[in-house]
Amino acid sequence: MVVLNAVIEAAGLEKTYPARDRGGTPFRAVAGIGLRVERGEAFGFLGPNGAGKSSTMRMLGGVSAPTAGTLRILGLDPAAHGRRVRARLGVVPQDDSLDVHLTVRENLLVYGRYFGLSRKAVRERAGELLEFARLTEKADERVEHLSGGMRRRLTIARALINDPEILLLDEPTTGLDPQARHVLWDRLFRLKQDGVTLILTTHYMDEAEQLCDRLVIMDKGLIADEGSPRELIERHITREVLELRFPPGEHEQVAVKLGRDGLPEPERLEVLPDRLLWYAEDGETALARATAAGVQPITALVRRATLEDVFLRLTGRSLTD
Partner 1 sequence: MFRALHYWLYRYRRTWRGTIVISVANPLLFLLAIGAGLGALVRGSVDGVSYLEFFAPGLLAAAAFQNAFVDGGFAVTSASRRERIYPTAAATPLEPGEIFGGHLLFITLRLALSAAAFVLVMALFGLVSGPGVAVAVVGAATLTGLALAAPLAAWAVTVRDIPQLNTVFRFGMMPLYLFSGTFFSVAQLPGPIRAVVQVMPLWHGVDLCRTLALGTAALGPSLLHLGYLAGLVVAGVLAGRVTFRRCLHT
Q: Kindly state the number of chain residues that form the binding site for partner 1, as judged by CB under 8 A.
A: 28
Strands (E), 3-131: 6-17, 27-38, 42-46, 68-73, 89-92
DSSP 106-138: HHHHHHHHHTT--HHHHHHHHHHHHHHTT-GGG
Closest CA to 158 of 119, 190, 128, 196: 128
User: Smallest distance, Å, CB 128 to partner 1?
Assistant: 19
User: Of 314, 308, 316, which is closest to residue 202 (Cα–Cα)?
Assistant: 308
| Contacts for 266 with CB less than 8 Å, ≥ 6 apart | 238, 279, 281
Measured from the CB atom, the residue of 106 and 225 that comes closer to partner 1 is: 106
- Find, among 137, 132, 181, 178, the residue nearest to 158 by Cα: 132
Binder among 11, 26, 113, 318 for partner 1 (CB under 8 A): 113
Judged by CB under 8 A, the residue of 5, 11, 17, 194 near partner 1 is: 17
- Displacement of CA 20 from its chain's centroid (Å): 28
* C-beta closer to partner 1: residue 22 or 83: 83
Sequence-ordered list of residues with C-beta below 8 angstroms from that of 256, at least 6 positions apart, any chain: none
Residue 156 vs 258, nearer CB to partner 1:
156
Residue number with CB closer to partner 1 (17 or 257): 17
Closest CA to 106 of 153, 155, 149, 140: 140
Say whether residue 61 binds partner 1 (CB under 8 A): yes
Verify binding: residue 227, partner 1, rule CB under 8 A. no
Scanning 55-63, 183-191, 196-204, 218-226 for contacts with partner 1 by CB under 8 A, the matching segment is 55-63
Q: Which residues contact 83 (CB under 8 A, 6 or more apart)?
A: none
| 28 versus 268: smaller Cβ distance to partner 1 | 28
d(CA 224, CA 311): 9
CA angle in degrees (0–180, nearest 5) for 263-266-272? 70
Q: Which of 40, 43, 58, 286 binds partner 1 (CB under 8 A)?
A: 58
- Give the residue, chosen from 32, 38, 39, 106, that forms a contact with partner 1 under the rule CB under 8 A: 106
Q: Give the chain's largest Cα–Cα span.
A: 75
Nearer to partner 1, 117 or 224 (CB): 117
Cβ at position 88, least distance to partner 1 in Å: 9
Residue 111 touching partner 1 (CB under 8 A): yes
- Shortest spacing between CB 81 and partner 1, in angstroms: 11
Looking at residue 104, its amino acid is V
- Using CB under 8 A, pick the residue from 86, 153, 187, 251 that binds partner 1: 86
Residue 115 contacts partner 1 per CB under 8 A:
yes
Toward partner 1, which CB reaches closer, 101 or 304? 101
Q: Does 87 bind partner 1 (CB under 8 A)?
A: yes
170: CB partners within 8 A, 6+ apart: 53, 54, 57, 92, 93, 94, 200, 201
Minimum distance of partner 1 from residue 96's CB (angstroms): 9
Binding site for partner 1 (CB under 8 A): 17, 58, 61, 63-65, 82-84, 86-87, 89, 91, 93, 95, 97, 99, 101-102, 106, 109-111, 113-116, 162
